[in-house]
């Protein structure tokens, strides 16, 4: 199983390293160290130092788990991967304090995204959405 990491706006310098000192960039670098050969989802294809940057359209959903650090867009990412595979695998990675979310819509959407993610994992492990009896 391969890993692809998605964080909107992640910067890669001319040497092919994830740039920036913010928490998001630091976590992307750590994930790349934990999972050598992973991909970073970005605007265009590029060979980097130890990883490839690929557009979401190039991520093979059949053999790749997308670690999505932009969980507000998980449904959109699932749909894009679903266009090319039957069972997209997305792990929502909430890496910031949810107290930063100030709008009612985003606050209410956050638990729904987690529930959808949990349901997909539940179905992927063979229960097919049927509750245990």
Please state the domain extents for the chain. Answer: 2-99
- Residue that wins the pLDDT comparison between 121 and 99: 99
pLDDT digits (tens, 9 = 90+) for 70-85: 877 888 899 999 998 9
Give ∠ CA 70-1-92 in degrees, rounded to 5: 20
Other CB atoms within 10 Å distance of the CB of residue 40: 21
Q: What is the pTM of this model?
A: 0.74
pLDDT at residue 17 tops 70 = yes
pLDDT of residue 132: 42
- Residue that wins the pLDDT comparison between 132 and 32: 32
């Amino acid at each position: 199983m391969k890993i692809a990491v998605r964080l909107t706006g992640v910067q890669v310098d001319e040497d092919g390293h994830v740039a920036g000192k913010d928490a998001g960039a630091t976590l992307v670098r750590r994930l790349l160290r934990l999972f050598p050969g992973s991909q970073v989802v970005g605007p265009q294809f590029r060979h980097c130092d130890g990883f490839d940057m690929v557009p979401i359209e190039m991520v093979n959903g059949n053999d790749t788990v997308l670690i999505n650090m932009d969980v507000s867009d998980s449904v959109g990412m699932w749909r894009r991967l679903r266009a090319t595979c039957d069972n997209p695998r997305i792990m929502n990675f909430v890496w910031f304090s949810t107290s930063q979310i100030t709008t009612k819509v985003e606050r209410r959407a956050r638990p729904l995204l987690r529930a959808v993610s949990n349901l997909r994992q539940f179905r992927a492990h063979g229960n097919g959405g049927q509750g245990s009896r």
